[in-house]
Structure 1
Amino acid sequence: MSTNPPGTPAHQASRALQVAQRVHSIEPFHVMEVVKAASALARCGTDVISMSVGEPDFTATELVQQAAIDAIRAGATQYTDALGLPALREAIASHYASAYGVDVDPRRIIVTAGASAGLLLACAALVDVGDEVLMPDPCYPCNRHFVAAFGGKPVLVPSNAAQRYQLTHDDVEARWSDRTRGVIVASPSNPTGTSMTGPQMQQMLAAVRKRGGFAIIDEIYQGLSYDHPPVSALHFDADVITVNSFSKYFNMTGWRLGWLVVPQALVPAFEKLAQNLFICPSTIAQHAALACFHPDSIALYEERRHEFKRRRDFLVPALRAIGFTVPVMPDGAFYVYADISAVAHNDSGDSAAFCLDVLGKTGVAIVPGADFGLAAPARHVRLSYATKLSRIEEAVGRMGRLFGR
């Protein structure tokens, strides 16, 4: 028993510290329960096939790796400007011209410590306490947590396959209130792998612009588009804020590097926030990323994009054949969002229990819908095809035998 009298520093230090209220509004990742269970099975010798994590199985190209080594050997490891290396900002601007046919002033580009840091900066700059921000349901869970972290209120708008699980002009018209400040959407989306069509994006942005709101467009999977050339939101509205990353198309997840394109008038505000919150992105990663835009690197990324498409083209029909419902073909990223109503045999009708059941009986790790919103999450799972096709084929075979297909 403590002998320190109440009120003394030692007694005060022994009491549990209270976390800020914002922490309580951030939900845990349900996927981590699947990941923990999968790791436990693997340690016991089970051959686990992971279709849970949104991470390419490819790594940085040889040119990128060598550029990092060269930067280290040259001592190019000190702080950069908070907005990023000028050469990298110029290279990104050139990439917009070649890949998307959009002219972007390099001064509008802000290099960030991953797309997550970019989204944090955008919310810090634009979201005040009490502001409402519209986003489709389902969506990437961290998007709503970024809004909540700055006192805003994420408003999840149920979407469906007919609208490609995306926010529409009609959604903005119907759900905008006096407290609404803007929208956050991702195209292509996590978890659905679906993109907004050009007209859909244009009409939605027009509805936001008419109300003087902001639009943050997450384009981190833009490079992984399969059925049509990718179209950046910047093509329709120069005042949108786009978020991108070197993690997905450029296969540099652990390097933690991304970027924003923001209106020129907002650059000083973003720069001030970046200076105070992050100082600068990783210098080594920035020097390495310059090699991403070498023609040899781009050629390899395109080969890998075609491989992702090959996996998708096998997986979606195969899932449908064993009983999953996939109402709309994903056209980007590396995810399939599937309805399990026809194959779920557990009594709870809960996708989290379903995923654990599938994992325990087949060794295939997939993700429950609970992480991605409130629109029928118990009926949905997300499957990632960021793994070898041979492993995907084996996973489908195992699940098919479990479901009697």
Structure 2
Amino acid sequence: MTEQPADGLMPFHAMEILKCAKIIEATGRSVCHLEVGEPGAPPAPRVIEAVAKALPLAQGYTNAKGLTELREGLANYYATQHAAVVEPESILCTMGSSAGFIIAFHTAFRPGARIAITRPGYPAYVNTLLGLGFGIAEIPLDAANGWKLTGADIAAAHADTPFEGLLFASPANPTGAAVDRAELADIVATCQRLGVRLISDEIYHGLDYRGPSVSALELTREAIIINSFSKYYCMTGWRIGWMVLPDELIRRAEILQQNLFISAPTLSQIAATVALGERDYAEQQKAGYARNRQLLNNGLQTLGFDIGSPSDGAFYAYAGISRFSNDSMSFCEALLDEAGVAATPGIDFDRAGGNRYVRFSYAGTQETIEMAIERMGRFLQQAG
């Protein structure tokens, strides 16, 4: 699973581990799934009801930008959650955040432009940029600083290797690090001073455990905002997300959407429109993640993993494994084969230093977390 072609494109190892886990489950063995960032709960019941009702009729394309009702609902979301004024015409509904990244890159940058990302960071950033022919500048982050990006980090990286864009997530995958309003303002101001276009990945918004999520829209209208219903609203497989675009980029993004994807799935847009009104349900799921967050963090510390305080947001624990191994891929393969616990090797998120880390997702059930900790304890005892 570790072959690397000449262009640097690599597998998404979380999905590779999931594939192997499914093969193991097909033999009758159970697996504790801590490898993928996928909520264990389904969408809110009213979402399912609305889709079932719409199913006989909702078979055609929508407007390329998306259903008017959904875009109006998203505009209201920004008004109520972030006190930000966003026109529905500035919003583009996408096939998950993944399509949003593709549209953002081709909308805002010329072919071959260099875009900065953090390391560690979401692996699809690297692979999507490479696959589309863009250049990359990596900004290394440090556990000692809570894995948080600063304006000084951006400026130093830009002075070393200039770049035209910055793709940044808060809360972040895999670390769960989240910046507060002042820290985000520092990032926004630095990008503006350097002439760098900010793409703010806000897919884990709502899943902050230390305060409200802060959108870049609260600070600037020059950033491209990307978000999704996958995480907070428990809708991963529905493949529905959205973008908020600066005025000068709206038309180009719409044209790209028309040609690359036509429109987001109609039923998923209907589901998303209803989901926006089901925040009480989403908050119930978040409360479960919060319990799992503490449970997993305590368990990993007891087992000897190198991990500090629980993550600020999202639903991940990024744990050091130096006490056990210096090869995160081999460690995760053995953990799956011998203990039936699926986790993601750190090399997915950091090709330079990720061999010393493993990411665990706590988005599943409490029972899964408890069983995984018990199994890992036996595995590490036998390995030691």
TM beyond 0.5: yes
Write the letter of the residue equivalent to 1:379.
R
Is the aligned partner of 1:379 residue 2:349?
A: no
Q: Is the 8 A contact 1:137 1:165 kept in 2?
A: no
Distance 1:63 1:36, change over 3 A: closer
CA 1:150/1:403 → structure 2, altered by over 3 Å: closer, same or farther? Answer: closer
Question: Which residue is 1:359 aligned to?
Answer: 336
| Mapped contact 2:171–2:205 kept (Cα < 8 A) | yes
1:193 corresponding residue in structure 2: 176
1:78 pairs with 2:60: yes
Instruction: Please state how far the C-alpha of 1:139 moved relative to its aligned partner.
Output: 0.4
Moved more, 185-194 or 126-135: 126-135
Report the equivalent of 2:35. 52
Q: Which residue matches 1:331?
A: 312
CA contact 1:188–1:221 (8 Å) conserved in 2: yes
Match of 2:268, as an amino acid? A
Confirm or deny: 8 A CA contact 1:194 1:329 kept in the other structure. no
Q: State the partner residue of 2:378.
A: 401
Q: Which amino acid aligns with 2:239?
A: R
Deviation at 1:369, TM superposition (A): 0.6
Alignment of structure 1 residues 31-70 onto 2, 5 Å: 31-70=14-53
Q: Give structure 2 stretches of 5+ with no counterpart.
A: none
Q: Give the match for residue 327 of structure 2.
A: 350
Which residue in 2 is equivalent to 1:228?
211
Q: Secondary structure at the match of 1:374?
A: coil
Q: Which digits, 9 at most, give the CA deviation of each residue in 1:119-172, with x for residues without a partner?
A: 110011123233211111000011122222332111111101233323321121
Q: Unmatched 5+ residue regions in structure 1?
A: 1-21
**How many residues matched?**
377
1:286 is paired with a residue whose SS is helix
Q: 1:32 to 1:303 in 2, by over 3 A?
A: closer
Counterpart in 2 of 1:293? 276
Structure 1 partner of 2:293? 312
Q: Within 2, Cα distance between the matches of 1:285 and 1:31?
A: 24
The 1-side partners of 2:6 and 2:255 are apart by 25
Q: In structure 1, what is the equivalent of residue 97 of structure 2?
A: 115
Whole-Å separation in 2 of the counterparts to 1:150 and 1:268: 21
Which amino acid is the alignment partner of residue 385 of structure 1?
Y
Q: Distance in 1 between matches of 2:265 and 2:28?
A: 38
Instruction: Specify the alignment match of 1:168 in structure 2.
Output: 150
Poorly superposed stretches of 4+, deviation over 3 Å: 22-25
Correspondence for 1:7? none
TM-aligned CA deviation for residue 33 of structure 1: 4.1
2:12–2:124 Cα contact (<8 Å) kept: no
Contact (CA 8 Å) 2:297, 2:309: kept in 1 or not?
no
TM-score, reference length from structure 1: 0.89
Give me the TM-score of the superposition, normalised by structure 2: 0.93
Q: How does 1:128-207 map to 2 (within 5 A)?
A: 128-176=110-158, 179-207=162-190
Q: 1:25 to 1:342 in 2, by over 3 A?
A: closer
8 Å CA contact 1:89, 1:109 repeated in 2:
yes
1:266 to 249, 257, 261: 249
Root-mean-square deviation (Å): 1.8
Q: Quote the residue 1:19 is aligned against.
A: none
Q: CA deviation at 1:23?
A: 9.1
* Aligned partners of 2:139 and 2:154 also within 8 Å: no
Following TM superposition, by how much is the alpha carbon of 1:323 offset from its aligned partner in structure 2, in angstroms? 0.4
Using a 3 Å threshold, how does the CA distance of structure 1 residues 115 and 32 change in structure 2: closer, same or farther? closer
